[in-house]
Amino acid sequence: MDKVNLMLEAVSKKLGITPQKLKEAMQTGDIGKALENMPPKDAEKLKSILGDPEKIKQMMNSRQAREIRKSMGEK
């Protein structure tokens, strides 16, 4: 299994959905499906982050995000 599928598997378990549903939600931009099984407090927090371009930029520039991209072969 490649790294992307491993990551999808891990995240989908945390969200309580199948990896396929998560992948579809990511491809279509419909995060509602991905948030259905999350605790309401966590879902609201994620929505607020995704709705704020500055927060997304900060998150994507974090050390953890860089390490994930590096492990996936991206620069």
Q: Which domain holds residue 39?
A: 3-71
Instruction: Give the DSSP per-residue string, 11-71.
Output: HHHHHTS-HHHHHHHHHHT-HHHHHTTS-HHHHHHHHHHHT-HHHHHHHHTSHHHHHHHHH
Select from 35, 5, 1, 42 the least CA-distant residue to 17.
35
pLDDT tens over the chain, length 75 residues: 577 788 788 888 877 888 888 888 878 878 787 778 788 888 888 888 878 888 888 888 888 888 877 877 765
Q: What is the pLDDT of residue 25?
A: 82
Per-residue CA distances from 75 to 1, 46, 66, 72 (Å)? 21, 25, 8, 9
Total number of domains in the chain:
1
Dist CA 20 CA 74 (whole Å): 23
